[in-house]
Structure 1
Amino acid sequence: MTGPVRARPLTAEAFAPFGDILDASGTCDRLINAGMCERHHDRARLDFGTEGRAGISIFDAVPRSLPYDCDLLERHPEGSQAFLPLSANPFLVIVARDLGGRPDKPLAFVTGPHQGINLHRGTWHGVLTPLHPPGLFAVVDRIGPGANLEEVRLDPPVRIIAE
């Protein structure tokens, strides 16, 4: 894992192997509440395994800046994990393909103002990395029995730089 990784804009095509983009920009799927609310319908494939259930938590993460040295990747083998920012500020998304139980060299994305993400079950990813305060996110993930967290320290860290 040599050389820096450029954080590029988050697009559905580039992110598809890792998860879903939760996006409220563009045309909505339908109007509800007497035409007063746009519903951007069914944006993620949630997966909590056979023994899990969905839980909603609030995370309050410390904002970081670019360049950013990523020294930890994790994954959740038992369920998907969605991050929904509670502000319009961008955040950094770091993901990696799996190479036989270990992460490959990470890729990095910067979200747009109306984007959240849903990481597919088992996707290697960096920690929650807001780029501006506040670092408040609603997180939808698996609650249930069993070990649902694997972590790998990166030594040396991978430097993430702006595009």
Structure 2
Amino acid sequence: MSADAQPLAIEALTREAFAEFGEVIEAAGAAQSYAINSGTTQRFHDLATVDTGREDGRTIVSIFRAQPRELPFVVSMLERHPLGSQAFVPLGAQPYLVVVASDPQSVPRAFLAREGQGVNYRAGTWHHPLLALEAVSDFLVIDRAGPGNNCDEAELPRQWLLLRQS
């Protein structure tokens, strides 16, 4: 761990706080919800904008299995996908961290995702790769496949330290 890493506050993941970077995918507070299937199911409608069609891209669905990270954790890089959005929906109840930034030179923001919250990064949003906590965690991932370079990585000019919350 770098001695000169700057502490980075971890915020609660809310729609309002995350709006600059994409959407929070959760049933709570959905703009539209209604009963379907003869009233046996509640549909929480249109929670995120999936954007994968640039440069002949297509939408794919995958499962990512993330190894848990220990805190404190040093954030030293970010990545982005310029040709498509990328959604992560946890398939379990474990918390995870979401780290995003306007660009690699800006101060990143860290969010703690609670049970039932996924995220959809807009195309081009700088973010850290998956940061599962506590246990191996599976995520349903909706993103882009196709031609073109759809992954940029950047080393950060300074390191940021994620600390265990008290």
Q: Quote how far apart the aligned CAs of 1:137 are.
A: 0.4
Q: CA deviation at 1:132?
A: 2.4
1:43 paired residue number: 47
1:20 aligned onto 2:23? yes
Are 1:118 and 2:120 counterparts?
yes
Deviation at 1:70, TM superposition (A): 1.2
> 2: distance between equivalents of 1:44 and 1:119?
9
Moved more, 49-58 or 81-90: 49-58
1:72 counterpart SS class: strand
Once residues 136 and 32 of structure 1 are traced to their aligned partners in structure 2, the CA distance between those partners, rounded to angstroms, is 28
Structure 1's unaligned 5+ residue stretches are none
Hey, what's the Cα distance between the residues in 1 that align with 2:41 and 2:70? 34
Gaps of 5+ in 2: none
What is the distance in 2 between the residues matched to 1:39 and 1:133? 29
Paired residues, what number? 160
Written as runs of structure 1 = structure 2, the 5 A alignment for 1:145-156 is: 145-154=147-156, 156=158
1:138 has 2:140 as partner: yes
Deviation (angstroms), 1:40: 1.0
**What corresponds to 2:98 in structure 1?**
93
TM-fit CA distance, 1:124: 0.3
Deviates more, 1:125-134 or 1:1-10: 1-10
Identity %, equivalent residues: 44
Match among 35, 41, 49 for residue 31 of structure 1: 35
- Deviating 4+ runs (over 4 angstroms): none
Q: TM-score, normalised by structure 2?
A: 0.88
Corresponding position of 1:65: 70
Contact 2:6–2:159 (CA under 8 A) maintained in structure 1: no
Instruction: Tell me how far apart the structure 2 counterparts of residues 103 and 140 of structure 1 sit (CA, whole Å).
Output: 27
Per-residue Cα deviation, 1:86-106 (whole angstroms, up to 9, x for no partner): 0122110000002xxx44221
Query: What's the CA shift string for 1:44-76, capped at 9, x where partnerless?
Result: 011112511110011011111332211220000
